[in-house]
Amino acid sequence: MRSLKTKLIVALIGSNLLVITLFALITPWKVQQHFIESAKQLHYQNFARMIERYIDHEHSWNTETDATRLARIALDNRPPNHADRPFNNLASGQRGSEQPADPSFQFALFDPSGRNIIGGKTYQPGEQVDQQTLTDADPIMINQKVVAYVLPSGTIPLTRSDTTYLNTLKESLLYATGLSLLILIPFGFWEGSKLVRSLKQLTTAVEKMSASHLEQQVDISTNDETGRLGQAFNAMNARLVEAYNRLEDSHATIAKQAEELKELSIRDSLTGLHNRRFFNEEVDRLHQEALRYHRPFCIVLGDVDHFKKINDRFSHATGDRVLQQVADILNNSLRDTDVLARYGGEEMVIALPGTTPLEAQELIERIRNRIENHPWHKISEQLAVTMSFGICDELDQQHFEHMLVLADEQLYLAKNEGRNQVRCLKQPSQTH
């Protein structure tokens, strides 16, 4: 079935036939369920009236004596030709006098305490049932209060009028299905042929475009969706050809812009340093190399001391200039092989491949001293800036994140012990 026309016709007929079939199956079932539910409600109303008459007469309910007495009343009132069916049709599946009762269906009636009043097919009058049985049963309400439970067994038989109605409904749906097929088949052939002719033009044009013959136009003059599709294709093709010509002329510019965009995606806009994303990618590689070749490797976390006070006292613009100057000092103090990034806020992070803890501590101490002694008054009078650092070189784990955690712990110690100092995991002594 390779023809698009055949596929469209089959899909159209099949989908409509499926809908009709589902409708033909579901509708009679839903109607039958409605009949059954109506019959159940009728029986439940009869049970409610029976119990209500008993309560009005005896002024008592929900005792063992009441259950026994009502069961006896129901037994005494059953018709002689229904020896196995209690209480004169009220406990049976019979609705009215249109058809005889079906012995395969009965109701079991229980009082609120679970004592059986009308046994049905399974229970005996006076038998006590558990709470689960009552949960499965339907409640009978009088004045918004549960006075009994009913448990149907079997399937409620339909009356002759209900059965006739269902059969008529099924026949009508069958005729409707046949009539729909008679209409759908020629209509599907007609519409399918029109659609396929238009689609063939579009397919041919697209195939030529894929063979590098970009400039293509189709002639579809219909006023339906395929006509609008043809117009849209022609407009799109014209724009595509124009864009392709411009693209050929500006390829070098676009390549340069793409490279610049890539650089912007890994740079912090304020300081010009690399951002956290770039740092994580580079340091993961450096960390793995250090593990593989047993080389020393350190990670340093630094944080500008009292940066919030600088912002509050001197302004956020001053705080931005402080971060920019700190970034310049750090950048000018490191090797090309080191990785420096702004990790967030006033926090900077440095990766030092091939560097021992002692070498790292000496380097960071020189940086700390340069920051402390920088002429910050040129930015703002009375401005003083210091920075605290934490260093970690532990390579025991497979991922570098544990080093960041340990470096952060050392930074916390430096902050906690007065700030403006360098703390190293393997060199715990403090230096100023």
DSSP codes of every residue in 118-176: E-TTT--TT-B--HHHHHHSEEEEETTEEEEEEEEES-PPPPHHHHHHHHHHHHHHHHH
Task: Please give the average per-residue pLDDT across 295-313, as a whole number.
Answer: 96
3-state helix vs strand vs coil in the chain, percent to 5: 55, 15, 30
Q: Is the pLDDT of residue 432 over 50?
A: no
Residue 74 CA to residue 104 CA, distance in Å, equals 19
pTM of the model as a whole: 0.44
Mean pLDDT of the chain: 83
Residue 90: domain span: 4-160
Task: Evaluate whether residue 263 is within a structural domain.
Answer: no
Q: Please tell me the total count of domains within the chain.
A: 2
Predicted pLDDT of residue 78: 59
Task: Evaluate whether residue 373 is within a structural domain.
Answer: yes
Task: Please give the average per-residue pLDDT across 56-73, as a whole number.
Answer: 85
Side chain identity at residue 10, one-letter code: V
Task: Please give the average per-residue pLDDT across 242-248, as a whole number.
Answer: 83
Q: Is the pLDDT of residue 194 over 70?
A: no
Predicted pLDDT of residue 62: 85
Task: Evaluate whether residue 356 is within a structural domain.
Answer: yes
Lowest mean pLDDT segment, chosen from 177-186, 224-233, 295-304, 339-348 = 177-186
Predicted pLDDT of residue 103: 56
Residue 191 CA to residue 8 CA, distance in Å, equals 9
Of 116, 141, 160, the domain-final residue: 160
Task: Please give the average per-residue pLDDT across 387-392, as a whole number.
Answer: 97
Predicted pLDDT of residue 301: 97
Task: Evaluate whether residue 225 is within a structural domain.
Answer: no
Note whether 375 and 329 are within 8 A (CB).
Answer: no
Of 160, 185, 204, the domain-final residue: 160
Task: Please give the average per-residue pLDDT across 262-269, as a whole number.
Answer: 84
